[in-house]
């Protein structure tokens, strides 16, 4: 028997490319089967309990997806000023975290998203009517909003105790938010991080977030929302080392239907790991306010 001129069953040695090919067939997943890291590795996992019987989510967590650059599929791209930043400002390639692959924009909103991207490194301070309308809020060191705070390339800490509140502290801009467990009241006023109300669905922490300001973005690609944004998050313990995160996003002013993102959150396991500070306001003072300090004096 021969395969492409290679005799099988004789003493003729198989070429290296054939050996490698046979080995790869044995280790690659079958068509349609997700690779091992994407599967739930601990289907019977039961998280440690707090005194009230609910899962203990305390810890330092981080997402390792590229969703902050773009929630949807994207190629590697240069940054806004490669002539200055070179590869330092580049954008990594990444896979979509959006269920179905694409965000269901209304036609006008898709055009607005493209405009946002084109002006993502602009700053509009000095115009009282457009103070926050131009440029990516992350670029200007504003609070990131929800769900973006979860997938920024920075860790965050969940602090859960016996009180009816869960605190989430983010490294970026030292932003925080309070999840009010069992709370029924509406948001008293719009805010950058929204108003978070929590409940338990079995072992899953469900967080209903509303009361947003319209200015936050979902990513650096210009994906955005209005003041009608409503987000429902789900944090599910999946192993001692990771949570599964889902967020259902609804905004009838911008999207044609609700849509969902999902990805794992990983527990930071380094020895003595801590949540450090990333207070970026000093990094943006020249960008935002430099022209006010350079006015000629009489």
**Tokens standing for residue 199:** 């409940």
d(CA 236, CA 207): 12
pLDDT tens digits along 217-248: 999 999 999 999 999 999 999 999 999 999 99
pTM of the complete model: 0.83
Domain boundaries along the sequence of the chain: 59-70+102-292
Query: Do you know the residue count of the chain?
Result: 298
pLDDT band at 295 (very low <50, low <70, confident <90, very high): low
Contact 114, 121 (CB under 8 A): no
Q: How far apart are CA 77 and CA 91, in angstroms?
A: 5
**pLDDT of 30 strictly over 70:** no
Tell me the per-residue pLDDT of 59-81, one tens digit each, with 9 for 90 and over: 999 999 999 999 999 999 998 88
């Amino acid at each position: 028997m021969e395969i492409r001129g290679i005799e099988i069953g004789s003493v003729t040695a198989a070429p290296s490319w054939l050996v490698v090919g046979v080995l790869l067939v044995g280790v690659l997943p079958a068509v349609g089967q997700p690779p091992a890291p994407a599967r739930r590795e601990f289907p019977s996992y039961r998280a440690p309990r707090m005194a009230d019987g609910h899962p203990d989510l305390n810890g330092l967590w981080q997402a390792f997806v590229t969703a902050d650059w773009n929630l949807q599929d994207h190629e590697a791209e240069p940054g806004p000023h490669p002539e200055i930043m070179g590869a330092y400002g580049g954008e990594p390639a990444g896979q979509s975290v959006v269920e179905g692959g694409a965000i269901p924009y209304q036609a006008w909103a898709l055009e607005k998203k493209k405009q946002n991207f084109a002006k993502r490194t602009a700053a509009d301070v000095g115009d009282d009517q457009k103070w926050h309308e131009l440029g990516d809020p992350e670029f200007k060191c504003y609070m990131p909003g929800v769900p973006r705070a979860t997938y920024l390339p920075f860790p965050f800490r969940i602090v859960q105790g016996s009180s009816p509140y869960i605190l989430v502290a983010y490294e970026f801009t030292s932003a925080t938010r309070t999840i009010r467990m069992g709370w029924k009241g509406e948001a008293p006023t719009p805010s950058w991080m929204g108003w978070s109300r929590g409940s338990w669905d079995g072992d899953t922490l469900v967080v209903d977030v509303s009361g947003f300001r319209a200015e936050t973005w979902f990513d650096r690609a210009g994906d955005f929302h209005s003041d009608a944004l409503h987000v429902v998050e789900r944090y599910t313990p999946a192993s001692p080392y990771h949570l599964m995160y889902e967020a259902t996003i609804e905004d009838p002013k911008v999207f044609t239907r609700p849509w969902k993102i999902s990805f794992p959150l990983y527990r930071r396991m380094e020895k003595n790991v801590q949540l450090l500070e990333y207070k970026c306001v000093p990094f943006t003072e020249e960008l935002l306010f430099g022209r006010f300090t350079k006015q000629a004096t009489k």
